Chain A
Amino acid sequence: MSGGLLLAQGEPIIPDFGEGSDCVVENRFFCPDWVRDNWAGVIQPALLQHVKLVVIAVAIGFVLSFAAALVAHRYRLVEAPFTAFSAVVYTIPSLALFQLLVPVTGLTVTTVEIALVGYTLLILFRNTLEGLRSVPPDVLEAARGMGYTRGQTLWRVELPLAVPAMFAGLRVAVVSTIALATVAALVIPYGLGYPIFLALREAFKTEIVVAGGLAVLMALVADALLVAAQRALTPWASARRLA
């Protein structure tokens, strides 16, 4: 199987915006009528695909990093190798990573997800581990002195106290994955990246603006949701001294 990346097929194309409103024909910056006509057929499916890509990637990335962080918290030896692995993955350019994966997993969503998951590992692993380690020594001492077992200390003290650090990692991971997931279109016609690529070839402004804008909006909304979730989960972290 040769790397049939979309860009590689791209021949220079003479812009042809076909039948459409004046706005579309003149390729103005933003044409609401085009968005209305193409919402159900193009934009909305791409948006939903994008959400799915990101949610699955971050969820799997989180589970993997979380498990690795728990193991590294217990056995320090594990920390360095996992950090090194996830750091190496993190530094591979996405184009190169796709090229590496396509021969194995093909031009599929799986290929994209594997890459996206890979990019979340470093930040999620480091933050979870730092969070687990940030518990003040006197708190651990009190837990031990009162007869918490090691497991109880982990689940009832260390993990709850690591939640703010974990959320800090999740916020970075989600926002960067939303941006990164647009390159999925290099592999498959999927997500918000696909309309952007099509529009790029034709320099069709409205589609680029809408798809790009939706990606930015999605990042903002996701971040706000995460902040709200963290506030709800860790009321103690935002509690300040009463008067």
Chain B
Amino acid sequence: MSGAAAEIVFDRVTKRYPGRAEAAVSDLSLTVPAGEICCLVGPSGAGKTTAMKLVNRLIDFEEGDITIGGESVRSLDLTELRRGIGYVIQQVGLFPHMTVAENISTVPRLRGWEKGRTRLRVDELLDLVDLPAEDYRARFPSQLSGGERQRVGLARALAADPPAMLMDEPFGALDPITRARLQHELLRIQGAVRKTIIFVTHDIDEAILLADRIAILREGGVLAQYDTPARILEHPADDFVERFIGSDRGIKLLSLRRLDELELAPLDGAIDLRASGDTTMRDALSQMITHGSRSLVVVDSEGQPRGVVTLDALAALAE
């Protein structure tokens, strides 16, 4: 398994830990289309990590089946299966005794790539995660910051070009600024590599930002809703989902939309506030409130005014 993204399908999967009455994952069915990011969210103990680890069989299961690119994970050799799936965890788990380059080349070496090819790949990946290769290649993990470690972890998971990736709260331990930067970096990288990614988080905002689809799990690993971020925010399936996404779902919805989508009002008079067309409506609203203004000028890439967005126009979207 490597190269093109593969569809991941959960088909009526149930996982019970021995000696526990309640199932950790209950009758879970969902399809992650090839090349999409699926965020698994839900409260602590809802079975997100368990569901994710069933895919590379770090946790074994008996009921139901999971397929990757049409092949059952149970039909594949265990080590081959795992080498074909990128794996990123919150604590990163870099090998302390290996340099950055050696860490990243773990799976290529396991697969017997020749040295030259591996070295080129390492440099390519360091470049992709925005760490200058000359500077970082020979460092040990103890010589990296938390954010840099997570970048290396991401590069390591991508090394053998796996069709699928599993990520368990990869940015959970980082400060908000580093987290936001890495989230956007992940989106940029995903734009380039198009993997099928299962991304576990309990941060609904992170899920809204990253996911093509969000799977919301409730206690006992029951799937409460599986849909695109916009549809979940617009039409929460039940009270649980509504409570989980929070009372500010109107604002969250605005974070999914950009000023470009709006019909702009003509320019009138002097307005100090300016924003580019790719600004999210949430950020635009925030700017207006911060500056006590009821409108904002949208400018194009040259900085030329294109039109005006008003508070009323944003409020009217909710209809």
Contact = CB atoms under 8 A, between A and B. Distances in A.
Interface of A: 136, 138-149, 152, 157, 160-161, 234-237, 239-242
B310 interface: no
Interface in B82-108: 82-84, 87, 89, 91-99, 106-107
Contacts, number: 79
Q: Nearest 10 CB-CB pairs, A to B?
A: A142-B93, A147-B82, A138-B91, A145-B87, A147-B83, A138-B93, A147-B79, A239-B140, A236-B140, A236-B97
Contacts of B110: 146-148, 152
Given A145-B87, A234-B97, A239 B142 contact: yes
B143 A240 contact: yes
B58 interface: yes
Interface residues of B, number: 31
Contacts of B97: 157, 160-161, 234, 236-237
Contact of A142 (B81, B87, B139): B87
Given A239-B143, A240-B142, A242-B139, A145 B58 contact: yes
B98 A236 contact: yes
Contacts of B94: 139, 142
A142 B58 CA distance: 10
B160 to A, nearest CB: 9
A236 B82 contact: no
B63 interface: no
B95 A157 contact: yes
9 contacts: A141-B91, A143-B93, A144-B58, A144-B82, A145-B93, A146-B107, A147-B82, A147-B107, A236-B96
Given A138-B93, A142-B87, A239-B140, 15 more contacts: A136-B93, A138-B91, A139-B93, A139-B94, A145-B56, A145-B82, A146-B110, A147-B81, A157-B95, A160-B97, A236-B96, A236-B99, A240-B143, A242-B139, A242-B143
B82 A146 contact: yes
B96 A139 contact: yes
B121 to A, nearest CB: 15
B167 to A, nearest CB: 11
Contacts of B127: none
Nearest to B159: A146
Contacts of B91: 136, 138, 141
Interface string B256-277: 0000000000000000000000
A146 B107 CA distance: 7
Contact of A241 (B93, B98, B143): B143
A138 B92 contact: yes
B80 interface: yes
Nearest to B110: A147
Given A147-B80, A148-B110, A149-B79, A142 B96 contact: no
A161 B142 CA distance: 14
Contacts of B82: 144-147
Contacts of A145: 56, 58, 82, 87, 89, 93, 166
Interface string B108-145: 00100000000000000000000000000001111100
Contacts of B80: 147
A139 B142 contact: no
Contacts of A152: 110
Nearest to A141: B93
Contact of B89 (A138, A161, A242): A138
